[in-house]
Amino acid sequence: MNRYYPSEDLLHYLRKIYVLDWRRGLHGFSHWQRVLTNGLMLAKKNGANQRVVTLFAFLHDICREDDGYDLEHGGRAKALILSTVQPEFLHLPSDELNLLTYACEFHTNGFTEGDLTVLTCWDADRLDLGRVGIVPDPEYLCTVEAKDEKMIMNAYKRSLQ
């Protein structure tokens, strides 16, 4: 198992506060697991911070209020991380906390430039678009590793399972 995988206490807390369908929702636990898989595959190739990538997978959609159009959920996730998750569960150094909160806050804005770890987080999420019937377009991916045709197709197949 990934040494940065969230603690049981943190997972219990996340499940308690998540308002959507934890198991079958478009943005629930199965999505987070695929984002984690995508992110770690990318991070092992490009050297991105695996702890930040792992935590992003579990936190980026935690404050969604619906599975559709919810532009503010990234900002709410950042606020939750700063107010509760960081002080009660994580205790990250400030550089990692800044990367995590930035990645969560702006993951739906379509940005493709920035810190390698943040870009890896965004790619990990975007590579899971198959769950809504979309094959990821390399134009909207950020890292060389994510733009690889084999990576895209493997992620797409995973997202359909």
The confidence score (pLDDT) of residue 95 equals 98
Query: CATH: 1.10.3210.10, 3.40.630.30, 1.10.1740.10, 1.20.120.1200. Which one for 8-160?
Result: 1.10.3210.10
Whole-model pTM: value is 0.97
The confidence score (pLDDT) of residue 11 equals 96
User: Is-contact 112 18, C-beta < 8 A?
Assistant: no
The confidence score (pLDDT) of residue 1 equals 62
Query: Which three-class secondary structure state does DSSP give residue 118?
Result: helix
Domain boundaries, the chain: 8-160
The confidence score (pLDDT) of residue 69 equals 86
The tokens describing 103, both together, are: 């990645």
The confidence score (pLDDT) of residue 31 equals 96
* pLDDT < 50 stretches in the chain: none
